[in-house]
Every structure is written in C-alpha cells, then in structure tokens.
Amino acid sequence: AQSVTQLDSHVSVSEGTPVLLRCNYSSSYSPSLFWYVQHPNKGLQLLLKYTSAATLVKGINGFEAEFKKSETSFHLTKPSAHMSDAAEYFCVVSTIDPNDMRFGAGTRLTVKP
C-alpha cells in the first residue's frame, strides 16, 4: 500500500521569498509522484510529476521538486513566490495500480504582499 504525508497544513510566505512545501511518501513499489495545485473553487491543475526519470523535476510556473528515495521525500520548491501562487497544494502518489492515486491532506499556501 502507498500513502503520502504533507508535513505542513499551512505555509505562509512573503511575496518574492522562496517557497518550500514538504511531502513524504510511503510505497512498496517505485512510485509515481505528482504535485497538483487547486485555486479556490477550481479543479486541480498538474504542476509536475516524477516517473523514475530525472530526480529533479521542473514544472509549470517556476515550481520544481526533487525526488529523494533515501529520504522518501518529494518536496516542492519555488525560488520566488508570487501572489498568484496562493492556493491549496496536493502531493499525490500512484504506483502499480494506475487507478489508485493517494492524495495528501493538502498544504494551503498564503502569500503576503
């Protein structure tokens, strides 16, 4: 079985400062890992995904994430936060069953002016 833990329910940063959203996973198999973003009253948008290629994954809007097998982590980062980054972020793990995606509880990112 697989699971994912998002270590912070809420992260607050100032505009222009770095963003770090933390995610740890548990999986019996080599996982696929995803970060999705959800703005208020919207659907989920894929930011990036890891599928056993390069361990540093670049996504949209300047976000990137690094897969660290030894630490079972897949943290999301961005060098400089923008006001439009304020949203809910979900880390997701998927493994041998392509229909079985496990969502983390989510991290709400607040960006202060």
Number of Cβ within 10 Å of residue 39's Cβ equals: 13
CA distance 92 to 8: 15
67 binds another protein (CB under 8 A): no
**Can you tell me which of 19, 87, 90, 111 binds another protein, judged by CB under 8 A?**
90
> For another protein, which is the closer residue by CB, 22 or 108?
108
Number of Cβ within 10 Å of residue 76's Cβ equals: 24
22 binds another protein (CB under 8 A): no
Residue 21 pairs in a beta bridge with 76
Binding site for another protein (CB under 8 A): 31-32, 34, 36, 41-46, 49, 51, 90, 94-99, 101, 103-106, 108
